[in-house]
Amino acid sequence: MTVMGTARPAGRPRSERAEKAIVDATLDLIGEGTSVSELSIESVAARAGVGKTTIYRRWANKEELVGDALATLKAPLPEIEGRTVREDLIAYLDVMRQDSLTVRTRCIMNIAMSEPERHPRLYERFQRTAIEPRRAAMRAVLERGVATGELRPDLDVEMAIGMLTGTMLWYTKGAAHGLLPGGVVPADLAPRIVDEALRGFRPS
């Protein structure tokens, strides 16, 4: 008899190795610039060294596979709790900058962000698991700054988030495609953005 209360179903158990290979292959292909619509189950199977059957046994369609794959990238969300608001904001923005340096992260971001109308549930899910936590963390830092008097009491926190994040995104997006003078995101971009923004965020 089985020790576990929930009896393991008879037969050969599903291979965790195969499952991981499938998810990895999916992320790899997306990371190489394949859009969701271009991504084919066959290419995933080939890349993963797996039969199509093994994929269809676990996921009903492409969208669910991609959804699960992207969900495994739960933002590590570095535990930042520095001293000043400035330092914390710089730390968060610099995570974005570093992320933008890896092609894989950039492509995945691109996919997850750029096709919301075509894959609304996918977009929503990624937003919830990856974006919103980071936004909340930044919001907490800003609200703490307002509470301590480091920032203006009437600061529009949501807009402040938008200014910081939007500016960094503008740069990373532009630099990735040769719009910036140097063609690369400057290493000191995070502190520059934060310092420029804080100039208006501080009490007058």
Partner DNA sequence: ATCATACGATACGGTTGCGTTGCGAAACTC
Partner DNA sequence: GAGTTTCGCAACGCAACCGTATCGTATGAT
When binding is defined by CB under 7 A, the residue of 24, 35, 47, 54 that contacts DNA is 54
Structure tokens at 101: 């340096």
Q: Which of 20, 32, 33, 57 binds DNA (CB under 7 A)?
A: 57
Q: Phi/psi at 140 (nearest 5 deg)?
A: -60, -45
Does 134 bind its own copies (CB under 8 A)? Our answer is no
Q: Rule CB under 8 A: which of 144-203 touch its own copies?
A: 156, 159-160, 162-163, 165-171, 173-174, 176-177, 179, 192-193, 196-201
Question: What separation in angstroms does the CA of 124 have from each of 9, 106, 128, 165?
Answer: 34, 18, 6, 19
Residues sharing a CB contact under 8 Å with residue 108, sequence separation 6 or more, in sequence order: 27, 30, 31, 70, 73
139 touches, from its own copies, DNA, none (C-beta below 5 to 8 Å by class): none
Where do contacts with its own copies occur on this chain (CB under 8 A)? 33, 35, 37-38, 107, 110, 113-118, 120, 123-124, 127, 156, 159-160, 162-163, 165-171, 173-174, 176-177, 179, 192-193, 196-201, 204
